């Protein structure tokens, strides 16, 4: 009793990594005291006071046991949580089996989509792989849906289980959808634009994290494309998280519950170049023919000018049928409006010069006006060509870089040379379909 009264209770830090002290038996206590240099019952009080404080026993007042405090405790490793991630992670993969008509006016496109979602299910770890009978109604489901699906012609969903080498169970949900998808077209660069054909995937559970499947990449089939003459599908599939995309859905839905899988379709601008831009350039150039009419007949000059202007306006209404009613100007709109403004200025000049008296000065001014408007017309064509080349080509160069990165990822996941083999197979089938009859394709 005297020895115990001379020891003061040590201060133990509140550290959850410190090992909890365990009660010692009387025999073990004597050995511990002897090995640690703590005085026994026969030791004097002076020897007890000279003992190190960190080796003194601690008396538990509740149980009556004394404990030996570890002077240099080793930190205990934190146990791995049941779920490695704070929220369930769903790995999503999309394969565009077929892309149908891309309707620019109604802002929609048709596609045949294969969607795969894979997530971890710890409750099925003990399930034997040879007994796949699982009651899917009792298992957890994130509720994967397609947000921008407008019309469905075929929809089938099935599930299966996969097991890793260490026995971890994964639920794989596969879905085949044929339907019409809504897409907001970005037509600032029309008719040299590139559209994102997107599929917006959402989860009903708010605590779900949708990510791209790193084991199986998303793919797109180039051979089964209906509008191949108007569009060019890039060999690129992007998965963009919804909470990082500046869209209205990203502000409404909880963070991390939306994933946008999109392919890039570049419009083939040859049709609009030859049938719209070239014809528009020729119509605009006819305005300079009005300078050949004498200034003594202002009615004839103005009549020819108004005819060319009205022809241009009617031509613009025809081109508007290929576009939705957007609130901004496209590249084609800017070119047509600039041509109309130039023709309008020429018409105003004809109305003003006819009011001036006929002399050598006004004749020289009329010739100078002809040269100035001709230079303005040529500058308009040059500025338009440079603008299209710099703006549109810069965006397409970015797509080429993304496409090269995507091909490197495919070669890494699916084997070296995968993209080269697919490219050769696509070229061979394209040549067969273009130059050979359908009856002779299978005979080669």
| Gap between the Cα atoms of 163 and 170, Å rounded | 6
* Bond prior to 293 in cis (omega within 30° of 0): no
pTM: 0.71
User: Could you read off the pLDDT of 139-169 as tens digits, one per residue?
Assistant: 888 999 999 999 999 999 999 988 888 888 8
Axis-axis angle for helices 298-319, 331-353 (nearest 10): 170
Residues 32-37: contacts with CB under 8 Å, at least 24 apart: 32/68, 33/57, 36/68
Pick the CATH number of 89-268 from 2.70.170.10, 2.40.440.10, 1.10.240.10, 2.40.50.100: 2.70.170.10
Q: Which residues contact 267 (CB under 8 A, 6 or more apart)?
A: 190, 191, 192, 193, 194, 195, 230, 231, 232
What percentage of the chain exceeds 90 in pLDDT?
Answer: 44
| Gap between the Cα atoms of 422 and 198, Å rounded | 23
Q: How far is CA 198 from the centre of its chain?
A: 8
The closest of 169, 204, 166, 205 to 87, measured between CA atoms, is 205
Amino acid 145: pLDDT: 92
**Comparison of pLDDT for 444 and 385, the residue scoring more:** 385
User: Could you read off the pLDDT of 296-341 as tens digits, one per residue?
Assistant: 888 899 999 999 999 999 988 888 888 888 889 999 999 999 999 9
| Gap between the Cα atoms of 309 and 302, Å rounded | 10
Amino acid 243: pLDDT: 56
The closest of 153, 135, 148, 132 to 94, measured between CA atoms, is 148
Range in 46-60, 170-184, 293-307, 366-380 the model is least confident about: 46-60
Residue 85 has pLDDT above 50, yes or no: no
Give phi and psi for 34, each to the nearest 5. -70, -40
Q: Are 290 and 297 in contact (CB under 8 A)?
A: no
Range in 119-128, 163-172, 387-396 the model is least confident about: 119-128
User: Could you read off the pLDDT of 176-196 as tens digits, one per residue?
Assistant: 999 999 999 999 999 999 999
Q: What is the CATH number of domain 272-394?
A: 1.20.58.390
Q: Are 40 and 87 in contact (CB under 8 A)?
A: no
Residue 30 has pLDDT above 50, yes or no: no
| Gap between the Cα atoms of 273 and 250, Å rounded | 37
Question: What single DSSP character describes residue 192?
Answer: S
* CA dihedral (424, 177, 407, 185) positive or negative: positive
The closest of 209, 235, 205, 203 to 222, measured between CA atoms, is 235
The domain locations on the chain are: 2-68, 89-268, 272-394
Q: Are 217 and 414 in contact (CB under 8 A)?
A: yes
């Amino acid at each position: 009793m005297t020895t115990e009264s001379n020891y003061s209770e040590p201060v133990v830090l509140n550290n959850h990594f410190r090992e909890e002290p365990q009660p010692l038996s009387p025999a073990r206590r004597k050995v511990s005291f002897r090995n640690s240099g703590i005085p026994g019952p026969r030791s004097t009080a002076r020897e007890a006071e000279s003992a190190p404080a960190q080796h003194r026993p601690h008396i538990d007042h509740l149980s009556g046991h004394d404990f030996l405090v570890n002077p240099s405790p080793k930190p205990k490793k934190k146990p791995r949580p049941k779920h490695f991630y704070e929220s369930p992670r769903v790995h999503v993969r999309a394969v565009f089996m077929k892309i149908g008509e891309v309707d620019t006016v109604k802002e929609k496109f048709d596609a045949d989509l294969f969607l795969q979602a894979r997530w971890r299910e710890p409750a099925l770890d003990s399930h034997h792989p040879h007994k796949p009978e699982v009651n899917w109604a009792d298992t957890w489901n994130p509720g994967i849906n397609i947000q921008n699906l407008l019309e469905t012609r075929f929809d089938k969903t099935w599930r299966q289980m996969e097991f890793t080498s260490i026995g971890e169970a994964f639920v794989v949900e596969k879905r085949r959808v044929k339907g019409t998808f809504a897409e907001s077209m970005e037509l600032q660069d029309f008719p040299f634009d590139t559209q994102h054909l997107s599929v917006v995937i959402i989860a009903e559970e708010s605590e779900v994290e949708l990510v791209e499947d790193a084991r199986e990449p998303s793919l797109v089939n180039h051979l089964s494309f209906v509008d191949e003459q108007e569009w060019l599908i890039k060999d690129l599939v992007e998965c963009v998280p919804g909470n990082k995309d500046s869209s209205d859905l990203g502000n409404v839905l909880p963070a991390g519950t939306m994933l946008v899988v999109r392919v890039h379709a570049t419009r083939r601008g040859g049709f609009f170049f030859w049938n719209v831009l070239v014809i528009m350039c020729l119509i605009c150039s006819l305005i300079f023919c009005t300078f050949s009419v004498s200034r003594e007949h202002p009615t004839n000059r103005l009549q020819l000018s108004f005819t060319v202007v009205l022809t241009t306006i009617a031509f613009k209404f025809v081109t508007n049928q290929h576009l939705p009613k957007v609130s901004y100007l496209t590249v084609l709109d800017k070119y047509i409006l600039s041509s109309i403004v130039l023709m309008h200025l020429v018409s105003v000049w004809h109305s003003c010069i006819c009011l001036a008296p006929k002399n050598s000065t006004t004749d020289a001014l009329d010739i100078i006006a002809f040269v100035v408007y001709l230079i303005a017309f040529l500058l308009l064509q040059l500025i338009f060509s440079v603008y299209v080349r710099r703006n549109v080509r810069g965006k397409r160069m970015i797509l080429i870089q993304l496409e090269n990165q995507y091909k490197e990822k495919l070669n890494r996941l699916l084997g070296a040379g995968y993209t080269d083999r697919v490219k050769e197979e696509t070229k061979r089938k394209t040549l067969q379909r273009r130059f050979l009859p359908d009856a002779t394709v299978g005979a080669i």
